Structure 1
Amino acid sequence: MQSPENPPTPTKHLYIETVGCQMNVLDSEMVVAALRKKGYALTQDPAVADAILFNTCSVREHAEEKAYNNLHHLKHLKLQNPNKIIGVMGCMAQKDQNSIFQRVPFVDLVVGPGQLHKIPEMIEKAELGEKQQLAVSLGRREGNTEDIKRSHETFDPLRDPEMRPTPFQAYLRIQIGCDKFCTYCIVPMTRGPEQGRAPDQIVEEARILAEQGAKEITLLGQTVNSYRYVEGEKVTRIADLLERIHPIPGIERIKFVTNYPKDMTRELLETVRDLPKCSPYLHVPAQSGSDAVLKRMKRGYTIADYYEMMDRINEIIPNPSVSSDFIVGFCGETEEEFQMTVDLVKRCRFKNSFIFQYSVRPGTKGAELYEDDVPEDVKHRRNLELLEVQNKISLEDNMRFLGQTVEVLVEGPSKWSVRKGQTGEFRQMTGRTHCDRIIVWDGNMRQTGSLLPVRVTDVYAFTMMGEVETHDYVAEPEVFQLR
């Protein structure tokens, strides 16, 4: 892995806009780091940028249409300055490829997520007049498995701390691609076959992130707990990675997302239990509470399997915090099947759930096999109903924290503070507990990046309110006792 070198004095400006998952956030960080070596500095103003990049998502139709709308809004900038370079990267670029040039003719670059290492060279060619360059990976039927995998390999991961959620929180990719082929999902086509990165490379990158000030590292993979790397007769799993990363000085917390229910093994859960830096927070999408819907989705497990996994989590990890994903209105979903999803949420009592209305993704098996036959108003109503159930559970479960003192990693000013334009040293601050609950309090900017004991004074479904506990404290799982 390369370490940052002294970049040349910036002579050009880059504007980059990122939507979608944590993978995209990490991809943007690495692209920015590579372009800094070429003399680019970041700007928040597209009008002054020499190069504009959109990192796109294809999981939902709305995200794609928003990307195209944003691109069309740049037409006047291109007319004012024909030398301004505009590029589209990410999953939409891999999926739509040359059709992006047809819909938005003034775009100069289209780059899939497996070809991001080519962006600096492509920008240099565009500066010399080479327009409408395409760099995408092989499709799942366009070669043998090894050739397809190589075409999706990520480039040497240069890192840029300024592009992270906060300077002390960093993403670390351990896996790319996916082989689950859920019928609603485009990811196996846009990010290619599932591949685990080499363990030594992952651990070395974790050390560099810690040296750069990262206190919390989140391991990323499409199905992160499916991670597997074979080297000779040795097989490395995610539990092995956690054990190797845990001793690294400077790292205080380790998380991993997103998980696949069938791969939530006892070994992994016992590792999370036994390593204090591992967060007891697990994100495990269920998607539906109906076996029939799960079968149409090709999820590969039953509701009985999911309940068994939840029982295993609750048995092994003290006070676990589990969140989930759900798709409402999937093809053929009846009212009875939807109510099964409601029942699952009530039984599992997730910390929170991300709920989405199904939208057809061209190129998926769902688009090919099933009719999108649930009316939009029904999808919307089910979305609101499930969200209401989840919010009630989240509020009830947060009530148990009232009066407790929890350890919080301080992320910085709260969204409310930013929205209200608070300036100066004293602000409303925000952070997260070890189990990933959000808490806000009146504090000061010097607290940013530290681990603080905060006593919970009020709770809502998504947020807890608190005040910093100034006494000495002794750490216990999620609860801190005064000496």
Structure 2
Amino acid sequence: MTRMHPAMSRLYAHIRSFGCQMNKLDTAMVSAALSEAGMELTERASQADLVIINTCSVRDHAEQRVWSHLGHLQHIKRSRPGMVVAVIGCMAQRLGTALLEHPAVDVVCGPMHLPRLVQMCLKAIQDKSKMAAITTSWRADADTLDQLEVSNPAMESPGQAYVRVMRGCNRSCAYCIVPFVRGPEHSRAPQAVLEQVRILADRGARQVTLLGQTVNAYRYRLGERTVFLADLLEMVGRIEGIEWIKFVTSYPMEHQFEPILQQMATNPKVCPYLHLPAQSGSDRILAAMNRRYTASQYLRMIEKAKAVVPGIAIAGDFIVGFPGETDEDFQQTLDLVHEVGYKNCFVFRYSPRPGTPAYRLGDPVPDHIKASRNAALLAAQQQISERIANGFVGRTVKVLVEGPSKRSDRFQQVEDLQQLVGRTDTDWPVVFAGPMQLAGQFVHVRIAKASPFTLFGDIYDPKPDFLGN
């Protein structure tokens, strides 16, 4: 464990995170490591001795936000010349030491070198030096990162935690930077995952979300047996205290799909929620993206999921404006969205990423067409989500309470109750009035009204539900 030198006064650290659940998990681990080293976390960068920016490279927009933030920090450093700024995450791995050329940046640390981050930052504070740690051997760095994950398990919110079960990706989608900045697929040993989940359960976790860029590709050789994701779900389900298990994100492939669905159908702890990005409904565009399935194959998987797991909620991802996408291609995507009936979709405009196979195709679809298709797809999804949400009105749902709601204007305050938010097993946000002590506990909420993406109601049982359904 790295700790501050006794002669050093208390240091303040600020972390700003961009990107996906992987980054949220990395940020939580880094926060825990900083606290363990004796630093105090602050929400204000202007008060910090150390500022860490956890970055995303999936889209150009995400990187532009980082550059803008670095400009802001450069301004702050004029009045705080001793401040150290560290850039971590995918952008750090992609750009490497080139980031050190920015006047605000002192430390660059790729995702696989997070165990070294605190030591690097303390050295930079003491020596006023610049340094970088970028991965060149993905396998060699994996074991050290495993140790950090087990020793610094972090809660996402009261009662909930992310647990990474694998890193990297082997899918080689033409548009995607992830294999270049996160490396090839590497599954963690089941023992390490289970140890981490047990620690989290002892600390009050009621739900764990298993993370992987292609989480359904999880496989680990254990003696003469190969452990797949379905096996891991069963193992995690045996841990006392864990009541809900979710997993994201899955790649549409038939291998091991049936066993995973069977876990959803038969294991009461595995939530009936499936995030299965399609990216397009056009076979021509799917082939250009190097997605290894057709629209009809994808739809057959959805049909199977609905048959095996009645009531399953399905979320999707789509990219609009991929090079060569025509109006006909986009219409096929719209048709697929309507046929699937997603709970919700994440829609992104295509963003060329240097180094990816699709980068050489340029960016021929005009921005205004991308914007139009983006809006049309979101509008279609909103109608679908609204129809599904309205089906909850009058029903009572089990909710894991997260904490205060950001949408407290929907209801009037009731005595000393606050507006809280939680999620169902199918990942629907639910807003209701209740005491803050419920954070991290299960309650039942009767749904009174719904918007396309949020449910609203009242607690049906005022006491936390410790017994499950």
- State the TM-score bracket (shorter-chain normalisation): over 0.9
Partner of 1:118: 116
Partner of 1:385: 376
Q: Report the AA paired with residue 442 of structure 2.
A: L
**What does the per-residue CA deviation read over 1:380-419, in whole Å, with 9 as the maximum and x for residues that have no partner?**
0000001111110111112221211111111111112399
Give the Cα–Cα distance (whole angstroms) in 2 for the partners of residues 118 and 90 of structure 1: 13
Contact (CA 8 Å) 1:332, 1:373: kept in 2 or not? yes
Deviation at 1:169, TM superposition (A): 0.7
Partner of 2:401: 410
SS at match of 2:398: strand
Give the Cα–Cα distance (whole angstroms) in 2 for the partners of residues 295 and 414 of structure 1: 42
Give the Cα–Cα distance (whole angstroms) in 2 for the partners of residues 51 and 200 of structure 1: 34
Partner of 2:132: 134
Deviation at 1:420, TM superposition (A): 11
Mapped pair 1:150 → 2:149: no
Q: How does 1:189-228 map to 2 (within 5 A)?
A: 189-228=180-219
**What does the per-residue CA deviation read over 1:143-186, in whole Å, with 9 as the maximum and x for residues that have no partner?**
xxxx442245524115667x643121100000001111101110
Give the Cα–Cα distance (whole angstroms) in 2 for the partners of residues 336 and 91 of structure 1: 34
Contact (CA 8 Å) 1:30, 1:158: kept in 2 or not? no
Give the Cα–Cα distance (whole angstroms) in 1 for the partners of residues 91 and 392 of structure 2: 42
**What does the per-residue CA deviation read over 1:254-287, in whole Å, with 9 as the maximum and x for residues that have no partner?**
0000001104611111012111011100100000
Poorly superposed stretches of 4+, deviation over 4 Å: 7-10, 158-161, 418-424, 471-477
Contact (CA 8 Å) 1:428, 1:440: kept in 2 or not? yes
Mapped pair 1:107 → 2:97: no
**What does the per-residue CA deviation read over 1:271-309, in whole Å, with 9 as the maximum and x for residues that have no partner?**
121110111001000000001000110011111110110
* Greater CA drift, 170-179 or 463-472: 463-472
CA RMSD, aligned part only? 2.7
**What does the per-residue CA deviation read over 1:310-342, in whole Å, with 9 as the maximum and x for residues that have no partner?**
011011112100000000000100000000000
Give the Cα–Cα distance (whole angstroms) in 2 for the partners of residues 13 and 476 of structure 1: 41
Mapped pair 1:401 → 2:400: no
Q: Report the AA paired with residue 365 of structure 2.
A: V
- Residues 386/272 of structure 1: CA separation in 2 closer, same or farther (3 Å cut): same
Mapped pair 1:41 → 2:40: yes
Give the Cα–Cα distance (whole angstroms) in 2 for the partners of residues 418 and 310 of structure 1: 37
Mapped pair 1:87 → 2:79: no
**What does the per-residue CA deviation read over 1:92-149, in whole Å, with 9 as the maximum and x for residues that have no partner?**
00001122122x12311011111111112211221232522110111xxxxxxxx442
**What does the per-residue CA deviation read over 1:39-76, in whole Å, with 9 as the maximum and x for residues that have no partner?**
11111111221111000000111110110110111123
**What does the per-residue CA deviation read over 1:346-366, in whole Å, with 9 as the maximum and x for residues that have no partner?**
000000000000011111111
Give the Cα–Cα distance (whole angstroms) in 2 for the partners of residues 474 and 413 of structure 1: 19
Contact (CA 8 Å) 1:30, 1:160: kept in 2 or not? yes
- Residues 469/167 of structure 1: CA separation in 2 closer, same or farther (3 Å cut): closer
Q: Report the AA paired with residue 212 of structure 1.
A: R
Contact (CA 8 Å) 1:332, 1:371: kept in 2 or not? no
**What does the per-residue CA deviation read over 1:12-55, in whole Å, with 9 as the maximum and x for residues that have no partner?**
11100111001001111111222222211111111221111000
Mapped pair 1:329 → 2:321: yes
Output the TM-score relative to the length of structure 2. Answer: 0.93
Name structure 1 gaps, 5 residues minimum. Answer: 139-146
Contact (CA 8 Å) 1:10, 1:40: kept in 2 or not? no
**What does the per-residue CA deviation read over 1:219-246, in whole Å, with 9 as the maximum and x for residues that have no partner?**
0000001101113322110111111111
Give the Cα–Cα distance (whole angstroms) in 2 for the partners of residues 128 and 240 of structure 1: 48
Give the Cα–Cα distance (whole angstroms) in 1 for the partners of residues 265 and 88 of structure 2: 39
Contact (CA 8 Å) 1:10, 1:41: kept in 2 or not? no
* Greater CA drift, 423-432 or 39-48: 423-432
SS at match of 1:106: coil
- Residues 38/365 of structure 1: CA separation in 2 closer, same or farther (3 Å cut): same
Q: Report the AA paired with residue 26 of structure 1.
A: L
Give the Cα–Cα distance (whole angstroms) in 1 for the partners of residues 165 and 261 of structure 2: 18
Deviation at 1:447, TM superposition (A): 2.2
Match of 1:286 among 266, 269, 278: 278
Partner of 1:51: 50
Give the Cα–Cα distance (whole angstroms) in 2 for the partners of residues 74 and 100 of structure 1: 14
- Residues 314/258 of structure 1: CA separation in 2 closer, same or farther (3 Å cut): same
Output the TM-score relative to the length of structure 1. Answer: 0.91
* Greater CA drift, 204-213 or 39-48: 39-48
